[in-house]
Amino acid sequence: MNDTSPLIDVRDLRVVFTGGKKPVEAVNGVDLTVARGESVALIGESGSGKSVTLRSLLRLHPERRTRISGGIRIAGHDVLALGSRPLADYRGKVASMIFQEPLLALDPVYTVGAQIVESIRRHEAVSREEARKRALELFERVRIPSPARRLDAYPHEMSGGMRQRAMIALALACRPQVLLADEPTTALDATVQIQILLLLRELQRELGLAILFVTHDMGAAVEVADRFAVMYGGRIVEEGPTREVIRNPRHPYTLALMQARADGAMTKGARLASIPGSPPDLANLPAGCAFAERCAYAREACLATRPEAVDLGTGHRARCLRTDATAHALQHTEAQPA
């Protein structure tokens, strides 16, 4: 593996849940790469397949009820081909995960310190004392006040922000190359959110991590991500450099998402824009573009075929037949007085 090849390389990922009456196609052909030291935000609403994609990278879905196909290569590991023991060795060591709600994702009856020590000793042959020393260093690194005392705290004894810091420390315990974050700031207060985002950004730069970051919060994504990938109906509908996507969205869904945001400049009493309709039924996906039903610019052609990615230059791609209409609409709204 040379240094320029991406750390995360996902090709045509498809995830189907077969547990229910009808198979649910949660992810339908996702292509995604994340380079070393790069941070990518996977954005979308509930049920867009973003968390499912993320969890597939550690193969955390119940094996019996899930069918995963396509290719996942992470730091040279063919993740879908790993046996159960190599898979366990890979999890936490090569790629690790930060969860949305650390209170639920940490074992309630073990101290946080014990859980970090357990993780280190699972992957490396070090003594308990040595592992504890490393856990203490990690706590200092994620800036938990009075770290030695906090190591002996149980998850429920910490505040939300502190718990998320502890979760990050746990995820970094075995010096992984890839960090997967599943809505890491959704459960936190606004003031704490920004601290956690800045910490993630800082750790990423210092450790050269590749971060794949799932969120539905555009504001949070802008803080951390170098690149945006917007998901809808189990596919990435638009991706590109953060500034480019924010300033120049070319998929109607991205545009609608941005318009649906409440920002500080909103006047009191103004209606928050929303997207009409509801996300597609993943057990019964339409033949054409999954967004067409809710799209203001949809044409006949949109209902017939799934659009291929249109290359818009500088790594900016959108899966839409009407990228010109979005561009036009954008100019139009910008001309309007705020």
Partner 1 sequence: MIFYLLRRIVYTVPIMLGVAFFCFLLVHISPGDPLVAILPPDASVELQRQLMTLYGFDRSWPEQFFGWLWRALQGDLGTSIATGRPVADEVFRAVGNTLMLACLATLIGFLLGSLFGFVAGYFSNSWVDRAASALSVLGVSVPHYWLGMVMVIVFSAWLGWLPPTGAGPGGSDQWAWDWAHIQYMVLPAVTMSVIPMGIIARTVRALVADILAQEFVVGLKAKGMTDSGIFLHVVKNAAPTALAVMGLQLGYLLGGSILIETVFSWPGTGFLLNSAIFQRDLPLLQGTILVLAMFFVLLNLLVDTLQTAIDPRIQR
| Residue ranges in 52-71 that form contacts with partner 1 under rule CB under 8 A | 58, 60
Least distance to partner 1 from the beta carbon of 168, Å? Answer: 13
Task: Give the nearer residue to partner 1 in terms of CB position, either 62 or 269.
Answer: 62
DSSP letter at 79?
A: G
Least distance to partner 1 from the beta carbon of 244, Å? Answer: 32
| 271 three-state secondary structure | coil
| Residue ranges in 122-161 that form contacts with partner 1 under rule CB under 8 A | 122-123, 154, 156-157
Spatial distance between the Cα atoms of 322 and 314, rounded to a whole number of angstroms: 19
Task: List helix spans (H) across 271-322.
Answer: 300-304
| Residue ranges in 263-282 that form contacts with partner 1 under rule CB under 8 A | none
Told to check if 107 binds partner 1 by CB under 8 A, we report yes
- Site stretch for partner 1 (CB under 8 A), options 103-111, 240-248, 312-320, 326-334: 103-111
Least distance to partner 1 from the beta carbon of 311, Å? Answer: 35
Told to check if 89 binds partner 1 by CB under 8 A, we report yes
Structure tokens at 77: 């590991």
Report yes or no: 56 and 68 within 8 Å, Cβ to Cβ: yes
Spatial distance between the Cα atoms of 209 and 225, rounded to a whole number of angstroms: 12
Told to check if 164 binds partner 1 by CB under 8 A, we report no
Told to check if 187 binds partner 1 by CB under 8 A, we report no
Closest to 329 in 3D by CA, of 295, 278, 293: 295
Q: Where are the beta strands (DSSP E) in 35-163?
A: 39-43, 66-74, 77-78, 95-98
| 120 three-state secondary structure | helix
Catalog residues that contact partner 1 under the rule CB under 8 A. Answer: 58, 60, 85, 88-93, 96-97, 99, 101, 104-111, 118-119, 122-123, 154, 156-157, 170-171, 173-174
